Amino acid sequence: MQSLKKTLRMLLWLMPYYVYIVRCVDGSFYTGYSRNVDMRMRQHVKGKGARYLRIHRPDAVVHVEEFGSRAEAMRRERRVKLFSHSQKLRLAKSQARARRGVRGVRLRGAKGQQ
């Protein structure tokens, strides 16, 4: 049992952190970090977590960056949060181009409880 716990801790330690930008239904942006963006977004849609996203409902994940450590992700999140709306929009568009025009991830329940 101890070996399994140690292995799980080691795997968790190896998992990357992500900084993500969410476009809200009102056109504003929210920036956060997480190890699991999909799980975090499900929490946001349910109204758990960030107060900002309880008020400005999430629409789509428009940008994601991967980092090897929590500290790196937190530093990047802090920098991105200081970006202007147009700078965040540019980041979102650059990622969309990199994905060859694929839209941001649509969130179930974000608009009209799909």
CB of 17 within 8 A of CB of 34? yes
Name the average pLDDT for the chain. Answer: 82
In the chain, pLDDT over 90 holds for what percent of residues?
63
Per-residue pLDDT of 17-27, as tens digits, reads 999 999 999 99
Interval 57-100: pLDDT, tens: 999 999 999 999 999 999 999 999 999 999 999 999 887 766 54
Sign of CA dihedral 36, 54, 104, 61: negative
Extents of the domains making up the chain: 15-99
SS3 70: helix
- Express as a percent the part of the chain with pLDDT over 70: 76
In the chain, % helix, strand, coil (3-state, to 5) comes to 45, 25, 30
- Is the CATH number of domain 15-99 3.90.420.10? no
